[in-house]
Amino acid sequence: MSPPPAAAGRTGPFSGGGRQKGKDPKAQITALDGIDIEIAPGQIFGLLGPNGAGKSTTVGILTTRVRPTSGTAWISGHDVWREQIAAKRLIGVVAQRPNLDFSLTAREILTFHGAYFGLNAHDRNERANALLERFKLTDRADQLVRGFSGGMMQRMSIARAMMHNPQVLFLDEPSVGLDPQTRLLLWEIIREYNREGRTILLTTHNMEEADALCQELAIIDHGRIIARGTPRELKASIPGGYLLRLRFGSHSAELMGRLGALVGVTEVRADGNSGADVYASRGGALIPEIVSAAAGVGVELSDVHISEPSLENLFLHHTGRSLRE
Amino acid sequence: MNWKAFFALLGRDAHVARRNMVQLMLQTFLQPLLFVFIFGRVMVGSGYLPMAYKSLLLPGIMAMSMVFTGIWAVAMPLISEFQFTREIEDRLLAPIDIAWVAIEKVVAGLIQALVAGLMVIPLAWLILRPGLELHIADPLLFVAITLLVAGFSACGGLALGCSVDQQHIGLMFSMVMTPMIFFGCTYYPWSALSKFPILAKVVLINPLVYASEGLRATLVPQFPHLWLPAILGALVFFDLLLLFLGLRQFRNKAVN
């Protein structure tokens, strides 16, 4: 079977949950509640949400590892549950917790994984060497992974998922526990893999990562998708998404009133001294108007700091809670 | 059926078994050989047990080694791979039906149980001769019984490995394995229980009884043993039952 040139992940509205072990056999935890997403081929798609939002369950359902209580998931036209083998050929999965084969060396993990997917011995060795090199693991290639550090195990897991060159790569919280340098290496590798036309779905609760890496995002909370779009679109969707921290030569109540009347400003918070926080739908474009408003009351603008709309603000806006809570 | 993936999975297990060869050998052979030495050599040599006990003991020891090895080889890795390391996940994502991942484990365990059983015979012979009298009258029957015994031990390993939590491994050995061995007609033939009619009936639920008696029937037919068709029927029944239960448990464990 030759895989299609590009693969799309698609799910019908599905719900998923785990049966809770305990006295009441009917007790269920609903982890997902009617998720419906379609991911175009060749995208880096991010599922952003706090811990326990349902990200891993979504990945589990899309990768044959969790049976949805209702609904269907498709990978490139294959029903994930009914056509498991066809679906499994198209996907590579990096689980949230490292699950490397502790009885094998780094190189053997890659070559056996390749063998499961039918690669011949020559291709297996060649690809394993290339991946070990790319993930900077060549010098540890022939050691048992048992003794690897957390970051090395994570790199190994990602290398293994790429070993059979899957059309769709699932990464569940790929950069948790990685040092900043390795995280940048990982981002570079993910972008590179995407440029080869592969689809990537990653989950994260790190806004910086979602912003830097993903072409499209879905924000998930309590098992529901609460917003979806490009990082830019999502950020632009927050009213007053920009925050301008201003400092003036002196305090003026009249100036605060004038700032509040400017087009696009949603809220002005004076700090009681000579500063003010202005929430607005525009950023730098507001500065000339602020300067002239200040000049109008005889006050000079001495310092400006503009922070762009962030996913943190977005999450806060949609849920009333911070991502980090 | 994706045989390539199946043989790659089997290749992985063979590779790991080769790497742990010394440990595996000690684990498999130390205990049975100590039993053989103490009961077959010391006790018989000092006159507490008759010479014929040597031949009676060997099939029981062979059954015990096979069953222990098969259960251990399948259950122990499964328990840790499902719980502690989660390393089974990579194999569950291989392009093969997950039932075959379980069947591969059973085949690997079956092979190990066969090796254990077949190697115990020459090793025990070295310790026990002279006085050991083995008569394999029907080689086909010997092969069939040995395969069925290896099969039920590996299937039993699958069923246990997917039902027991990591923290209960010790309990599994003291509550399941130990009574199974002592009530498994390993050190005595089933006919020796004729003075204990209730016990003689109760032990018939123990699959190890049919393993010991079956091997006795094919290796030392000069001793009394259970009716052969009943032995074969019971072994086939336990093979299928444990395979069915094991596969069901495996599926439950593998998919959330």
Interface contact B5-A95, CB threshold 8 A? no
Q: Which residues of B touch A81 (CB under 8 A)?
A: none
Backbone phi, psi, residue A163, to 5°: -55, -40
Interface contact B95-A99, CB threshold 8 A? no
A57 band by pLDDT with thresholds 50, 70 and 90: confident
How close does chain A come to B67, measured CA to CA in Å?
Answer: 24
> Which member of A95, A102, A112 has the closest CB to residue B89?
A95
**Residue A228, SS3?**
strand
User: Which residue range(s) make up the domain with B126?
Assistant: 3-254
Interface contact A101-B19, CB threshold 8 A? no
> Which member of B4, B16, B97 has the closest CB to residue A85?
B97
Element (H, E) at B79: helix B53-82
pLDDT in tens, A61-73: 999 988 888 888 8
* HSE value, Cβ hemisphere, 13 Å, CA-based, for B109: 34
Tell me what pLDDT residue B249 has: 94
For the domain bounded by A239-308, which CATH number is listed?
3.30.70.1340
Q: Which residue has the higher pLDDT, B22 or A240?
A: B22
**Whole-Å CA distances, B55 to A293, B51, B62, B218:** 107, 8, 11, 12
> Which member of A63, A103, A112 has the closest CB to residue B93?
A63
For the domain bounded by A9-235, which CATH number is listed?
3.40.50.300
A238 band by pLDDT with thresholds 50, 70 and 90: low
**Whole-Å CA distances, A181 to A136, A192, B130:** 12, 17, 70
- Tell me the residues of chain A between 62 and 121 that have a Cβ less than 8 Å away from chain B: 63-67, 84-85, 88-89, 91, 93, 95, 97, 99-104, 108-109, 112-113, 115-118
Mean pLDDT throughout B105-109?
Answer: 96
Tell me what pLDDT residue B248 has: 96
Tell me what pLDDT residue A15 has: 57
Say if CB A78 and CB A90 are below 8 A apart.
yes
**What does the alpha-carbon distance between residue B163 and residue B110 come to, in Å, rounded to a whole number?**
19
Mean pLDDT throughout A146-174?
Answer: 93
Interface contact B256-A85, CB threshold 8 A? no
Listed residue (B149, B162, B145) closest to B245, CA to CA: B162
| A22 DSSP 8-state letter | S
Q: Which residues of B touch A112 (CB under 8 A)?
A: 8, 11-12, 15
Note whether B135 contacts A: Cβ–Cβ < 8 A: no
Distance from chain centroid for Cα A224: 16
Q: What contacts B68, CB < 8 A, 6 or more positions away?
A: B28, B31, B116, B153, B177, B181
First to last CA, chain A: 46
Q: Which residue has the higher pLDDT, A170 or A266?
A: A170
Note whether B252 contacts A: Cβ–Cβ < 8 A: no
Tell me what pLDDT residue A26 has: 41
**What does the alpha-carbon distance between residue A154 and residue A96 come to, in Å, rounded to a whole number?**
9
- Tell me the residues of chain B between 57 and 86 that have a Cβ less than 8 Å away from chain A: 85-86
> Which member of B16, B19, B255 has the closest CB to residue A65?
B255
Listed residue (A151, A157, A192, A181) closest to A171, CA to CA: A157
Note whether B5 contacts A: Cβ–Cβ < 8 A: yes
Among all residues of chain B, which has the CA nearest to that of A63? Answer: B93
Q: What contacts A115, CB < 8 A, 6 or more positions away?
A: A124, B4, B5, B8, B11, B12
Tell me what pLDDT residue A19 has: 37
> Which member of A67, A88, A108 has the closest CB to residue B93?
A88
Residue % of chain B over a pLDDT of 90: 74
pLDDT in tens, A251-262: 888 888 888 888
Mean pLDDT throughout A188-217?
Answer: 90
Listed residue (B187, B152, B173) closest to B67, CA to CA: B152
A11 band by pLDDT with thresholds 50, 70 and 90: low
How close does chain A come to B32, measured CA to CA in Å?
Answer: 27
Interface contact B90-A67, CB threshold 8 A? no
Among all residues of chain B, which has the CA nearest to that of A57? Answer: B256
Among all residues of chain B, which has the CA nearest to that of A89? Answer: B95
Mean pLDDT throughout B18-22?
Answer: 92
Among all residues of chain A, which has the CA nearest to that of B92? Answer: A65
- Tell me the residues of chain A between 184 and 243 that have a Cβ less than 8 Å away from chain B: none
Say if CB B38 and CB A146 are below 8 A apart.
no
> Which member of A18, A100, A109 has the closest CB to residue B256?
A18
On the question of pLDDT at A159 being above 50, the answer is: yes
Interface contact B96-A85, CB threshold 8 A? yes
How close does chain A come to B177, measured CA to CA in Å?
Answer: 26
Q: Are strands A91-94 and A168-172 parallel, antiparallel or unpaired?
A: parallel
Q: What contacts A80, CB < 8 A, 6 or more positions away?
A: A61, A62, A63, A64, A72, A73, A74, A87
The amino acid that residue B128 corresponds to is L
Interface contact B95-A116, CB threshold 8 A? yes
- List the structure tokens of A292: 């002239």
Among all residues of chain B, which has the CA nearest to that of A67? Answer: B256
Interface contact B12-A104, CB threshold 8 A? yes
Q: Which residues of A touch B104 (CB under 8 A)?
A: none
Residue A299 buriedness (CB in 10 A; 0-12 / 13-18 / 19+): middle
Interface contact A103-B11, CB threshold 8 A? no
Note whether B2 contacts A: Cβ–Cβ < 8 A: yes
* HSE value, Cβ hemisphere, 13 Å, CA-based, for B14: 11
**Interface probe, candidates A103, A123, A145, A153, chain B, greatest B C-beta count within 10 A:** A103
On the question of pLDDT at A118 being above 70, the answer is: yes
Tell me what pLDDT residue A276 has: 86
| B226 DSSP 8-state letter | -
Tell me what pLDDT residue A17 has: 45
Tell me what pLDDT residue A114 has: 96
Structure pTM? Answer: 0.83
Q: How many domains does chain B have?
A: 1
